[in-house]
Amino acid sequence: MKRVFPILAILTAVLLSYAMYQGLVVAPTEKTMGDVQRIFYYHVPSAWTAFLLFAINFVASVIYLFRRNPKLDAVALVSAEVGVVFCTVVLVTGPLWARPVWGIWWTWDIRLTSTLVLWLIYVSYLMLRRFSTSGQTPVLAAALAIFGALDVPLVYFSIWYFRTQHPQPVIGGGGSIDPRMLHVLLINWLAFMCFAALVFWSRYRAEMLQREVEEMQSLEALLEPRGAL
């Protein structure tokens, strides 16, 4: 595994560079918005990647409640951490795109508000995992993760069923997109998913190693009084 990781990291870096070149240079310039529309190639893949990670968190949390497998708990934790990072990218790139197009940084419509709520829920999840010392923390966190996952469909379908400032979907929602733009979009999404998988893998290994160390320390603490006798 140690030998594979550097190779995958290099390949991911190359793919990210290629995707950036496609988004900034190769993709055609949108007629109405101009070059600022190129944020689309980072904003949308970040959102899709965040949704995928939160879905993994949801599935791992549900299964954990039944099996109480520490590995599933670690998967849930790590997927939430990486998902929050990509969701933060969404919340940053969105206003950067909105300002020159809408003339405002933020508006409290259903898509933007539900995305912010989603981010806050998972930040709360991470704070619970970080600061709670209760033995029931993984169970409480799993319940919170399931609650947070309910907001994902609301975020995704909000622009389909509600009047919103956010643009309507160009894929699967009656809209249209230049095939060249779609090609670049999918390349960037692939690059983002590879990067997310790489970070997830690295963070998961670190999390499991940390748990093993803490378990050994706890075991040693239990054995020390007996040795003293």
pLDDT digits (tens, 9 = 90+) for 19-51: 999 999 999 988 888 888 899 999 999 999 999
Residue 228 has pLDDT above 70, yes or no: no
Question: What is the rounded CA–CA span in Å between residue 188 and residue 44?
Answer: 9
User: How many other CB atoms are found less than 10 A from the CB of residue 205?
Assistant: 15
Residue 94's nearest CA partner among 120, 115, 123 is 115
Q: What is the mean pLDDT of the chain?
A: 88
Compute the distance between CA of residue 72 and CA of residue 132 in angstroms, rounded to an integer: 19
Q: What is the pLDDT of residue 229?
A: 46
pLDDT at 1: 62
Q: What is the rounded average pLDDT of the residues 215-219?
A: 82
Q: What is the pTM of this model?
A: 0.88
Is pLDDT at 113 greater than 70 in this prediction? yes
At 33 the pLDDT is: 86
Of 189 and 104, the structure prediction assigns the larger pLDDT to 189
165: which DSSP letter?
A: S
Residue 174 pLDDT > 80: no
Of 47 and 163, the one with more pLDDT: 47
pLDDT > 50? residue 143: yes
SS (H, E, C) 170-191: CCCCCCCCCHHHHHHHHHHHHH
The pLDDT, as a whole number, for residue 5 is 84
